[in-house]
Amino acid sequence: MHNVIVNTDISKGKINKNIYGHFAEHLGRCIYEGIWVGEDSPIPNTKGIRNDVLAALKNIKVPVLRWPGGCFADEYHWKDGVGPREGRKRMVNTHWGGVVENNHFGTHEFLLLCELLECEPYICGNVGSGTVQEMSEWVEYMTFDGESPMANWRKENGREQPWKLKYFGVGNENWGCGGNMRPEYYADLYRRFQTYVRNYGDNKIYKIAGGANVDDYNWTEVLMKNAGWLMDGLSLHYYTIPGDFWLGKGSALDFEEGEWFITMKKALHMDELITKHSTIMDKYDPEKRVGMIIDEWGTWFDVEPGTNPGFLYQQNSIRDALVAGVHFNIFHNHADRVQMTNIAQTVNVLQAMILTEGEKMILTPTYHVFDMFKVHQDAEVLAVESAVGSYEMGGEALPQVTVSASRDAEGKVHVSLVNIDHAGEAEISLDLRGFAAESVQASGTILTADRMNAHNTFEQPDAVAPKSFDGANVEGGRLSVKLPPMSVVTLAIH
Ligand code: AHR
């Protein structure tokens, strides 16, 4: 038996809806085919953006979208991607598969996508191979309302009014593909580049500095010490990789129980990373003004056999869904510092929401978790105390159940629970403090499967899909919840 207390009357602050953010890079079939098909495509589209993907993403209320990379960002020169499409430069996407990048999806197309999705754009600028002038002019091009060389060029290219742009990243992974820099050097470059990321008119930019890889705590220390007061957010990247990054990450579908266990262990590691990086940030920013922006996270497996190794295409199973649920519970419980996260990536790359094959599209188990958890967006995170039993393998123990809870603007309480055990049920006694016990009613949705690698295919698109959950009953003023093995549940408490 696992015991959980949800204090429905103790709020710990707001879950920034941007925790449900996304990341779409010029990588493999994410942008081209996954999002952009072009206006002349037989695939139904709105000004070149495919309608089926748009509708699916609107349904999960994508709050913010990061673009154009990733590693691509520090090789991207934005001027190649504006103006008449037929005249745009064809270049090589050196980082991802060496394929031709025709620049048909550029600044205008990305900002149109964000308008259609009604989400905030988050643009990542080029520090690694770009110039201060280039970055500064990009911001001027997008946001300056008046007469200036870049604003005039924007108007010539068909956009009279400036866009609103809030989130801007000053480089990506500058310790690696973004220039192989030392933190001291990048901190100085950040200070210099961000100076010219201007606020024009009433457009106020939230500046995000390139942060650490996994547990590189020194990077966070140096950045906060030398540039903390000049940033609004500091990023962190951490991927859940069951194997070894270079020697073999593991297959998305062909894995045994031991690999399931390691995957859950590595997903849970996110909690320690946030705690330790936050502690360093607290030293320089005790008011928690600077947001932690986890702008790349998710599972990273070996590519599907027979696919381009540079395209990072992987299938997505119930295991991925649990990884997503575990992450969201962690993010909610760190909502005081974590202000945005962006899963990698939206379509056809890594832990995707959506997979496409020509005109066909399927939703992944991860998509369904985003759908089930969207009730937490902008809700008040509630204080939760839990005493949970363990899930054990090979002498190691993990907490079998993770949990988080929130209260929305209408006063409705939502509790999300994840049972990471691949074989064992979890019986939970849920005490809802602050709710009149006799009046408690709960309804819920569950995502589960009977095989560890259950997944959706183009032939069976609904093999893993949410169902209504009837495993919660009121007993003696408490809610008794029975979670099947490998399940994610969101309860709505009335
Ligand atoms: O998401 C794939 C890649 O992972 C990104 O381009 C890079 O930032 C990270 O290493």
Q: What is the pLDDT of residue 437?
A: 67
Task: Report, as an integer, the average pLDDT of 177-199.
Answer: 98
Task: Report, as an integer, the average pLDDT of 450-478.
Answer: 94
Q: What sign does the CA torsion over 190, 195, 197, 199 have?
A: positive
Taking every pair of Cα atoms in the chain, the longest distance, rounded to a whole number of angstroms, is 71
Per-residue confidence at 157, pLDDT binned at 50, 70, 90?
A: very high
Task: Report, as an integer, the average pLDDT of 298-321.
Answer: 98
Q: How far is the CA of 70 from the centre of ligand 1 (A)?
A: 5
Q: Look at ligand 1, atom 8, and give the residue with the nearest C-alpha.
A: 70
Q: Look at ligand 1, atom 5, and give the residue with the nearest C-alpha.
A: 70
Q: How far is the CA of 157 from the centre of ligand 1 (A)?
A: 31
What DSSP designation does 482 have?
E
Question: 183-195 vs 132-143: helix axis angle to the nearest 10?
Answer: 40
Q: How far is the CA of 173 from the centre of ligand 1 (A)?
A: 8
Structure tokens at 418: 């994840």
Chain length of the chain: 494
Q: Determine what percent of the chain is predicted with pLDDT higher than 90.
A: 97
Task: Report, as an integer, the average pLDDT of 428-442.
Answer: 84
Q: What is the pLDDT of residue 407?
A: 96
Q: Look at ligand 1, atom 1, and give the residue with the nearest C-alpha.
A: 344
Chain segment 32-55, per-residue pLDDT in tens: 999 999 999 999 999 999 999 999
Q: How far is the CA of 71 from the centre of ligand 1 (A)?
A: 6
Burial of 484 (0-12, 13-18, 19+ CB in 10 A): middle
Torsion of Cα atoms, 444 then 445 then 449 then 453, to 10°: -130
Neighbours of 460 (CB within 10 A): 11
Distance CA 330, CA 371 (A): 17
211 lines ligand 1 (CB under 6 A): no
318 lines ligand 1 (CB under 6 A): no
Distance CA 57, CA 367 (A): 9
How high is the ipTM of this complex?
Answer: 0.99
- The answer to whether 403 and 415 have CB atoms below 8 angstroms apart is yes
173 lines ligand 1 (CB under 6 A): yes
70 lines ligand 1 (CB under 6 A): yes
What DSSP designation does 42 have?
S
Burial of 441 (0-12, 13-18, 19+ CB in 10 A): exposed
Q: How far is the CA of 298 from the centre of ligand 1 (A)?
A: 11
Structure tokens at 493: 């408490």
Per-residue confidence at 468, pLDDT binned at 50, 70, 90?
A: very high
371 lines ligand 1 (CB under 6 A): no
Q: What is the pLDDT of residue 385?
A: 96
Q: Is the pLDDT of residue 477 over 80?
A: no
Torsion of Cα atoms, 111 then 116 then 118 then 123, to 10°: -20
What DSSP designation does 302 have?
P
Query: What is the average pLDDT value for the chain, to the nearest integer?
Result: 97
> What three-state secondary structure class fits 401?
strand
296 lines ligand 1 (CB under 6 A): yes
Q: Look at ligand 1, atom 3, and give the residue with the nearest C-alpha.
A: 70
Distance CA 374, CA 409 (A): 13
Q: Determine what percent of the chain is predicted with pLDDT higher than 70.
A: 100
Distance CA 475, CA 494 (A): 16
Question: Which ligand 1 atom is the nearest neighbour of the CA of 25?
Answer: 6
172 lines ligand 1 (CB under 6 A): yes
Q: Is the pLDDT of residue 285 over 90?
A: yes
Structure tokens at 207: 């500046």
Residues 6+ apart with CB under 8 A from 233: 167, 206, 207, 208, 209, 290, 291, 292, 293, 339, 340
Q: What is the pLDDT of residue 440?
A: 81
Q: Is the pLDDT of residue 220 over 90?
A: yes
Q: Mind telling me the catalytic residues?
A: 173, 296
Give the pTM.
0.97
Distance CA 357, CA 164 (A): 34
364 lines ligand 1 (CB under 6 A): no
First to last CA, the chain: 24
Structure tokens at 416: 């999300």
